[in-house]
Structure 1
Amino acid sequence: MATETTGAEAAAHSEGGSLVFHPMDQFIVKPLFGHGDVGLFTITNVTLWLFLAVASVIALMVLGTSKRAIVPGRGQSIAELAYGFVYKMVEDVTGKEGLKYFPYIMTLFMFIVFANFLGLLPKSFTTTSHFAVTVVLALAVFLTVTILGFVKNGTAFLGLFWVSSAPLALRPILAIIELISYFVRPVSHSIRLAGNVMAGHAVIKVFAGFAAVAAISPLSVLAITAIYGLEVLVAFIQAYVFTILTCVYLKDALHPHH
């Protein structure tokens, strides 16, 4: 995984006095059992860590709150904090009308948070660094809010692309820009998450390679520690950004007017 700090893997060997790095090897999808090509039904390292992310969410939100004590334990406290945080976000951005979609948004947030944080464990695999994962999440949001927009508003949903406050001559041009911007949403939504996660993990791997050089090893270890701390923050921020953008898109579907 991304955070493994053994210099032997990040800097495979020294050729002609220069280190050879392979920071992207950590993102290779491999069969979990045996070797060979990855097929449609092959159980891979991605499959394993996706399952662990889902299992972690269930463990916290179901098992952690099963006792429902008046004085909550650690698990219940974390679950309640997460619930309140996302609930307030949905309410603030979409209004009371958007709260009926809270379970879906809460599920998205918790899955991305756990997938990001599990990816910070040594020897693990960061599933949210793969566009195959983030694109599916982004497309699910895009299709959901688009269908919801037409179901709730009919053809009035198209008012989202018509900037009525602009001068009449500019409205057709702005409508085209708004339309393009709308269909770019799933692209930016998915790239933002995967790109940030992938970049941070690759940088950690590069510095891990420098740790094999005795002269700069202490500086490399300090850099790894600092970047790892930053990645912990990024893991939460990217989940938050993905979720709040989902709320913004939901708001547009519920209230499609400029």
Structure 2
Amino acid sequence: MASEAHGAEEGGLVFHPMDQFIVKPLFGGDEIAWYTITNVTLWMALAVVAIIAMMVVGTSRRAMIPSRSQSIGELAYGFIYKMVEDVAGKDAVKFFPYIMTLFLFIVFANFLGLIPMSFTTTSHFAVTIALALLVFVTVTAVGFIKNGMSFLGLFWVSSAPLALRPILAIIELISYFVRPVSHSIRLAGNVMAGHAVIKVFAGFAALAVVSPVSILAITAMYGLEVLVAFIQAYVFTILTCVYLKDALHPSH
């Protein structure tokens, strides 16, 4: 912010849209270790607190005529439950609590990141790759526990011509191990790109000539990011259901 103000005073325009993603220790200092409490830690904790507030506290006094928080909680519950049942099948309902937790954490982290001066935890690959790896390991473990070595049938395309099956098996195997990469990059990349664009438009707001246009652009991008915050949580969750379906029913 200081460099932006200095640039504005000199008649220029200097801003750094990626500075908003810098991880900083919460209680001062420059070094960050695995145990350091950072701004990422704070906003992840706030996401958990927000989930507890809505799903536990908000629904503690259930009534026939639901309160606003109870209505939102019941809507989220029904939405994810139906998604799991429709995409992965009824035998996947036992994994509903895990998938519901994933969705709520991502959607709350995304929405909290839209608060001015906040920090968007899902813009960091360290966070999204951890979520994607948890899904990958869980799905793979479920696949082998439920199906044994038959789980490897996921990579053998029996409907293809025999000569092509080994080649397709290699392609399927590679695509399977790429899943956590694409799963995590899709979420972090979309969230990061949107916030960076908003920051760029905000930098141009300092110029009187383009200030009205910049403010309109910021408003439009902010509205789009509200939509993206939900859509990216939905996409991450539905892909988790698709991967779970492959683990429960690996045969092509």
Write out aligned runs for 1:32-43 (5 A). Answer: 32-43=26-37
Distance 1:12 1:78, change over 3 A: farther
Q: Work out whether 1:149 is the aligned partner of 2:143.
A: yes
Output the CA distance in 1 between the equivalents of 2:170 and 2:2: 52
Aligned length: 252
Measure how far apart 1:34 and its partner are. 1.7
Q: CA-to-partner distance for each residue in 1:152-189, whole Å, 9 max, x for gaps? A: 00000000000000000000000000000000000000
Give the alignment's Cα RMSD to 1 decimal.
Answer: 1.4
Structure 1 residue ranges without an equivalent (≥5): 1-6
Output the CA distance in 2 between the equivalents of 1:8 and 1:209: 12
- Which residue is 1:4 aligned to? none
Output the CA distance in 2 between the equivalents of 1:55 and 1:186: 27
Q: CA-to-partner distance for each residue in 1:216-245, whole Å, 9 max, x for gaps? A: 000000000000000000000000000000
Q: Work out whether 1:227 is the aligned partner of 2:221.
A: yes
- Which residue is 2:67 aligned to? 73
Output the CA distance in 1 between the equivalents of 2:198 and 2:4: 9
- Which residue is 1:167 aligned to? 161
Distance 1:127 1:249, change over 3 A: same
Distance 1:235 1:208, change over 3 A: same
Equivalent residue letter for 1:73: S
Write out aligned runs for 1:1-258 (5 A). Answer: 13-14=7-8, 18-258=12-252
TM-score, with structure 1 as normaliser: 0.95
Q: CA-to-partner distance for each residue in 1:103-159, whole Å, 9 max, x for gaps? A: 000000000000000000011000000001000000000000001000000000000
Measure how far apart 1:21 and its partner are. 2.2
Measure how far apart 1:12 and its partner are. 5.6
Contact in 2 for aligned 1:200/1:231 (Cα 8 Å)? yes
Q: Percent identity?
A: 79
Distance 1:71 1:10, change over 3 A: farther
Distance 1:12 1:154, change over 3 A: farther
TM-score, with structure 2 as normaliser: 0.97
Output the CA distance in 2 between the equivalents of 1:118 and 1:141: 23
Equivalent residue letter for 2:108: F
Output the CA distance in 2 between the equivalents of 1:95 and 1:118: 32
Contact in 2 for aligned 1:65/1:75 (Cα 8 Å)? yes
Contact in 2 for aligned 1:11/1:212 (Cα 8 Å)? no
Output the CA distance in 2 between the equivalents of 1:235 and 1:88: 20
